[in-house]
Amino acid sequence: MRLLKINKVREGRYLKNYELVYENRAGHEKKYEIVSHHEIRDISELGDRVSGVSIVAVHEGKMLLLREFRMGVDRFVYNLCAGMKEAEETLEECIRRELYEETGLSLKRIYKILNPAFAAVSICDIQNQIAFVEAEGEIEDFHMSENEWIQAAFYTKEEMASLLETEQFSTRAQIASWFFSIGGLDNL
């Protein structure tokens, strides 16, 4: 498999659509579509930048989840607090800002930030980092824009196990929630 060229197909407000042209194993041309948050000017720039952070936040033995309306699937899903990193922002600043904007909570402590990973490797070059943190304060919902509908809450292991049986999640939130529900975050 050899990437021959990349062409921008569409420029959206947050996402850019690209067509990748590959030479496949049989020597034939294969066109493949992806999206990116970034302007890709050269093949070497494909998948080389981190877009944002997903936050696994705990407080007093409970884990934070957001129940939010997602326009892309026209329904509520459980998700992690997350967002895009602004141009000159550090990752810690991004974590603080997103946690506050989506929940009103403050960052008390960062336990671990994982290395960048691809968010949806089959359709985009977007990389995120997962941050394991302790949050503090009271949840408030006045920070939402008119285009968001977010309900933040902390859940016990038992409550989380129950949600996992009945509710829909983003993949990242489902993995983190399951791990939390079986005690996988007890040593933070």
Instruction: Kindly report, residue by residue over 75-117, the tens digit of the pLDDT.
Output: 999 999 999 999 899 999 999 999 999 999 999 999 999 999 9
CA 31/CA 20 separation, integer angstroms = 6
Query: Distances from the Cα of 175 to the Cαs of 29, 102, 106, 161, 184, in angstroms?
Result: 36, 21, 24, 12, 11
Share of the chain above pLDDT 70, in %: 98
What number is the average pLDDT over the span 151-179? 97
pLDDT of residue 58: 98
As to burial, measured by CB atoms within 10 angstroms (0-12 exposed, 13-18 middle, 19+ buried), residue 122 is exposed
Residue 142's pLDDT band, with cuts at 50, 70 and 90, is: low
State the CB neighbour count (10 A cutoff) for residue 19. 14
pLDDT digits (tens, 9 = 90+) for 41-60: 888 888 888 889 999 999 99
Q: What's the pTM value of the predicted model, to 2 decimals?
A: 0.90
Mean pLDDT, the chain, integer: 93
Least reliable range by pLDDT among 17-31, 136-150, 170-184: 136-150
Give me 14's structure tokens. 């947050």
Helices (H) and strands (E) in the chain, counts: 3, 11
